[in-house]
Amino acid sequence: MKQFEIHQITHLPPKILALEKEAVEEGFRFITRLIDEWHSGTNRFDAPGECLMVACLNQQLIGVGGLSIDPYAEANTARLRRVYVAASSRGQHVGQALVKALLTHAALRFRSVHLSTDTPEGDSFYLHCGFIRTDIPHATHVMQLGNS
């Protein structure tokens, strides 16, 4: 099996445009929003506890995901955002590894993590990652991290 790497980034790599193109072709606009918000300064995942991570294989960008302070929730709550894995890398545990790395980072500062997905595939994926469904406003899934 091919070995991929996951690491935190502080600048958007130019290769994000290829990932954006693929996401848009699949009907997902959230990578476009990630790029737009990054360039405008609206969200650079740089507040305390926040981060943006990428997954790479052979120096190719195959996934991205971010963690930010959840603007809709109480303090000590993070929001998992903009998680996307290239179609060619799905089913190879890239998404799970990316989410696990983001959750490990979140556990350093936050008590819980919220997210919102609107696809059955996303629902299934996040349940598999250990999230539970929720009916709280502005979130479809939640995970308690056990921090006090």
**pLDDT per residue as tens digits for the range 2-61:** 689 999 999 999 999 999 999 999 999 999 999 999 999 999 999 999 999 999 999 899
pLDDT given for residue 137 in this prediction: 94
Model's pTM, two decimal places? 0.95
Domain limits at 99? 5-144
CATH number assigned to the domain comprising residue 140: 3.40.630.30
- CA neighbours within 13 Å on the CB side: how many for 139? 24
* Domain count within the chain: 1
pLDDT given for residue 35 in this prediction: 98
Helical segments of the chain, H only: 16-25, 30-40, 94-106, 120-128
pLDDT given for residue 148 in this prediction: 46
Q: Which residues pair with 115 in a beta bridge?
A: 141
Distance from C-alpha of 12 to C-alpha of 33, rounded to nearest angstrom: 13
Distance from C-alpha of 116 to C-alpha of 138, rounded to nearest angstrom: 7
**Which position has the token pair 């926040």?**
50
Where residue 145 falls among pLDDT bands split at 50, 70, 90? very high
Contacts of residue 126, Cβ cutoff 8 Å, sequence gap at least 6: 99, 115, 117, 140, 141
Amino acid, res. 140: T
The shares of helix, strand and coil residues in the chain, as percent rounded to the nearest 5, are: 30, 30, 40
The tens digit of pLDDT for each residue in 81-140 reads: 999 999 999 999 999 999 999 999 999 999 999 999 999 999 999 999 999 999 999 999
